[in-house]
Amino acid sequence: MAKSINICLVGQKFMGRTHSNAYMKVAKYFDLALQPVMHTLVARDQAELAEFARRWGWANTSTDWRAAFQNPEIGLIDIGTPNNVHAEMAIAALEAGKHVACEKPLANTLAGARQMRDAARKAKKSKTFVWYNYRRVPAVALAHQLVKEGRLGRIYHVRGYYLQDWAGPDVPLIWRFQKKIAGSGSHGDLNAHIIDMARFITGEEVAEVSGAIMETFVKERVIPSQGSTGGISGGAKGSAAKGRSDVDDAVLFLGRMTGGAVCSFEATRFATGYQNKNGVEVHGEKGAISFNFEDMNYLSWLDNTVPARLRGWTRVPTTGGDHPWAGAYWPPAHIIGYEHTFMNQAADMLNALGGRKPIVPLPDFEDAYQTQRILEAVSVSVRERCPVKVREVK
Ligand SMILES: NC(=O)c1ccc[n+]([C@@H]2O[C@H](COP(=O)([O-])OP(=O)(O)OC[C@H]3O[C@@H](n4cnc5c(N)ncnc54)[C@H](O)[C@@H]3O)[C@@H](O)[C@H]2O)c1
């Protein structure tokens, strides 16, 4: 009989659903080294918890995460809560000897992220994972493979963008607009993903950032009568009382990569007309790639080594059996969606815990700490209006 691992998930709203869906279905599609067992679900509202657990198939529920983490039956703790509690929960989980998967960004501060990295280094028997799930889009993994095979040659330009438009003035002051909980706005929420994607695809680090600007377009928002109803939707509106939104709504910056390329990143919650358009483009000496999540089943590829009269973009469908993870699902061209990125990551985590090598690298706390340093370097660059070398940000 295949070995299994008991999972404890914390959080039962937006990411609670994506992670539950992944654990519920992953063994149906993948031949796994370890079978996931949906053991315990933790969140704050007992009534909601019971209903969520029944719907998604969690065996037990708890409102006390500290007690749940001590349960010797649990092997993997998965943190799907807002950013301010990632560090406290992840460190407690590592100290209890568990493997840990945590949502991104790693923490709401660089200090918190560093403590998590240090705790992971200390807990030698525990593996850590961070849900940078866009790495698990087959087209993004293919881009990573093409660069690794040397098909782009020397890289000149890297361009990342993450464009959303949900945060107009009518959206109440949910946790995503509160610095003490979220750490930042579009920066840690959206730039974190495209920085991670750019690092993953190119295999290079952002060495220096400059020209960074941040803007908060809506500075006051109505205080909701209850917290988030999940994801980016607001809680019920309360009275007319307003509170200050102290996070960025948009952050743009320039930079230099370790291999000599120049890069630019743009994250915003105010790109009217774009709801979840994120992507990375890379231009190299021998070729170029372009990925846009709105068209996630395709990678655009240009081979610059063919004669000029044949040169042009190819829209490569990434749904064939020889594309990462795609063979686990449907015949070629029978497309997949957002939820599959979480299933792909769950499959790779369970295989890594079972001793197998993931198809492409999985981000751990060490890796996600590097992304957090770049986020911090950008914040310093905004504040001090000067270029910042990422290696000087500790
Ligand atoms: N990977 C992605 O694409 C992606 C997308 C959205 C959100 N996220 C990340 O996932 C995390 C959660 O975001 P979300 O959109 O699911 O938020 P959400 O508001 O929808 O849900 C948060 C959940 O955490 C629970 N929670 C909050 N504080 C808690 C505490 N102290 N103890 C126990 N439970 C607590 C809430 O009850 C709720 O169930 C964030 O770190 C966010 O940045 C990642």
- The rounded distance, in Å, linking the Cα atoms of 154 and 260 is 9
Ligand 1 neighbour 89 (Cβ under 6 A): no
Q: Which of 8, 9, 10, 13 to mutate to test the pocket of ligand 1 (most atoms within 8 A of CB)?
A: 13
User: If you measure from the C-alpha of residue 229 to the centroid of ligand 1, how many angstroms do you get, rounded to a whole number?
Assistant: 10
65 lines ligand 1 (CB under 6 A): yes
Interstrand relation of 155-163 and 262-268 (parallel, antiparallel or unpaired): parallel
Taking residue 241's Cβ as centre, other Cβ atoms within 10 Å add up to 9
CATH number belonging to domain 4-133: 3.40.50.720
Walk along the chain (394 residues) and give the pLDDT tens digit of each residue. Answer: 579 999 999 999 999 999 999 999 999 999 999 999 999 999 999 999 999 999 999 999 999 999 999 999 999 999 999 999 999 999 999 999 999 999 999 999 999 999 999 999 999 999 999 999 999 999 999 999 999 999 999 999 999 999 999 999 999 999 999 999 999 999 999 999 999 999 999 999 999 999 999 999 999 999 987 655 666 665 555 567 999 999 999 999 999 999 999 999 999 999 999 999 999 999 999 999 999 999 999 999 999 999 999 999 999 999 998 999 999 999 999 999 999 999 999 999 999 999 999 999 999 999 999 999 999 999 999 999 999 999 999 8
Centroid of ligand 1 to alpha carbon of 80 (angstroms)? 5
| Contact status, residue 22 vs residue 339, Cβ threshold 8 Å | yes
Q: How remote is the CA of residue 72 from the centroid of ligand 1, in Å?
A: 25
> What is the pLDDT, as a whole number, of residue 230?
62
What whole-number distance in Å separates Cα of residue 40 and Cα of residue 144?
A: 35
Q: Pick left, alpha or beta for residue 260 (phi over 0 → left; psi -120 to 50 → alpha; otherwise beta).
A: left
- What is the distance in A from the centroid of ligand 1 to the CA of 11? 6
In 3D space, the residue among 61, 67, 121 whose CA is nearest the CA of residue 96 turns out to be 67
Closest by alpha carbon to 158, among 258, 248, 250? 258
The answer to whether 26 touches 11, Cβ cutoff 8 Å, is: no
Burial pattern 188-210, b for ≥16 Cβ within 10 A else e, equals: bbbbbbbbbbbbbbbebbbbbbb
Instruction: Mention every residue, 6+ apart, whose C-beta is less than 8 A from residue 272.
Output: 165
Q: What is the pLDDT of residue 225?
A: 75
Q: Is the CB of 332 under 6 A from ligand 1?
A: no
Protein residue with least CA distance to atom 27, ligand 1: 81
Residues 261, 208 contacting (CB under 8 angstroms) = no
Is any ligand 1 atom within 6 A of the Cβ of residue 228? yes
Sketch the domain layout of the chain as residue ranges.
4-133, 139-384
Per-residue model confidence (pLDDT) at position 321: 86
What amino acid is encoded at 37 in this protein? Answer: V
Query: Do 4-133 and 139-384 share a fold?
Result: no
Q: Distance, CA 202 to ligand 1 centroid (Å)?
A: 29
Distance from the alpha carbon of residue 300 to the mean position of ligand 1, in angstroms: 33
- Cβ–ligand 1 distance for 234 under 6 Å, the answer no
The answer to whether the CB of 131 is under 6 A from ligand 1 is: yes
31 Cβ contact list (under 8 Å, min separation 6): none
Instruction: Report the pLDDT value the prediction gives residue 227, as an integer from 0 to 100.
Output: 58
**To test the ligand 1 pocket, which listed residue (62, 81, 174) has its Cβ within 8 A of the most ligand atoms?**
81
Residue 16 Cβ inside 6 Å of ligand 1? The answer reads: yes
Triad 376, 164, 159: Cα angle to 5°: 60
In ligand 1, which atom is closest to the CA atom of 175?
19
CATH number of 139-384: 3.30.360.10
- Torsions phi, psi of 165, nearest 5? -145, 25
Residue 63, H or E segment: none
Answer yes or no: is the C-beta of 121 below 6 A from any ligand 1 atom: no
Non-local (6+) Cβ contacts of 233 within 8 A are none
Q: Whose CA is nearest to atom 28 of ligand 1?
A: 81
Note the pLDDT of residue 240.
77
> Within 13 Å, how many C-alpha atoms sit on residue 29's CB side?
23
Question: Beta-carbon neighbour count of residue 334 at 10 Å?
Answer: 10
Residue 331, preceding peptide bond in cis (omega within 30° of 0):
no
